[in-house]
Amino acid sequence: MQEKEVAEEKKIGMTETWLRKHRLQFIGATRHPMLKSIRDGTINLASFKTWLAQDYLFVRAFGPFVASVLTKARKESDDSAHDIEVISRGMASLEDEILWFKKEADKWGISLSNTVPQQANTNYIGFLENLRNENVEYIVAMTAFWAIETVYHESFSHCLEEGSKTPEEVKETCARWGNEGFGQYCQSLQNIVNRCSQKASDDELKQAELVLLRVLELEVEFWNMCYASV
């Protein structure tokens, strides 16, 4: 049976089907040792600072990617009014996010202008650039978008759960992506992917699934990069 039929039969979305199938990879990205060290309070602050500076560069590249998803929604979505609203919300919050990175970098004494992207970051940014191509289908780009946001939400909300020993000075970072509002926004993105997947061809679904897997790999490599930089 095709996965699309499995999803339909069980009355669950395509995203849920993928996440069940690739559960281990999802856990690898959202429960990385670096995240575990945030949660248990043993985080090495040098690693955290590396993450902060590198993620700032990532987010700067993420904006143009989100803009390209917005353009695809306009051209390809069967409910573009709705999708544009959701994607624009994400776009708008990036401005605030960039300001937040600058403020946070000041707090930690990090010079962002002297930061150069490390290899794993360059790979991730290159991946985003490829997805901006107009030949990449809306559902494929949208799946990447949903996955990128959701991985951060899952990762950081876990660091704020009861019983976690996340250091005070890192809590604000966790709350940025771990908060409930961000979780609802991730859910809106997920609903879009699920809706689009009902009309997608098998080939499009295969591509979207591969993109999801690649996001999970790139996220692990991103954390590895920070973790190793001690």
Ligand X SMILES: Cc1ncc(CNC=O)c(N)n1
Interface contacts to ligand X, rule CB under 6 A: 55, 58-59, 62, 97, 148-149, 152, 219, 222
- Whether 202 has a binding-site annotation, put simply, is no
Residue closest to ligand X when measured from CB atoms: 152
How many residues comprise the chain?
230
* Paired tokens of 105: 């970098």
Residue 186 corresponds to which amino acid?
A: C
* Paired tokens of 170: 């890192």
d(CA 147, CA 184): 14
d(CA 130, CA 115): 23
- Whether 149 has a binding-site annotation, put simply, is yes
* CB 11, min distance to ligand X, A: 29
* CB 61, min distance to ligand X, A: 10
* CB 127, min distance to ligand X, A: 11
Closer by beta carbon to ligand X, 79 or else 95: 95
* Spatial contact of 135 and 153, defined as CB atoms under 8 Å apart: no
Q: Is 219 a catalytic residue?
A: yes
In three-state secondary structure terms, 224 is: helix
- Whether 16 has a binding-site annotation, put simply, is no
Closer by beta carbon to ligand X, 187 or else 198: 187
Closer by beta carbon to ligand X, 58 or else 138: 58
* CB 55, min distance to ligand X, A: 5
Q: 19-47 in b/e burial notation, b at 16+ Cβ within 10 A?
A: beebeebbeebbebebbebbbeeebeeeb
- Tell me which of 104, 154, 209, 219 is the catalytic residue: 219
Which of 214, 222, 74, 81 minimizes the C-alpha distance to 140? 214
* CB 202, min distance to ligand X, A: 28
* Spatial contact of 161 and 219, defined as CB atoms under 8 Å apart: no
* Paired tokens of 161: 């759960």
d(CA 217, CA 210): 11
Closer by beta carbon to ligand X, 7 or else 52: 52
Closer by beta carbon to ligand X, 48 or else 222: 222
Annotated binding-site ranges for substrate: 55, 97, 149
Residues identified as active-site: 219
Annotated binding-site ranges: 55, 97, 149
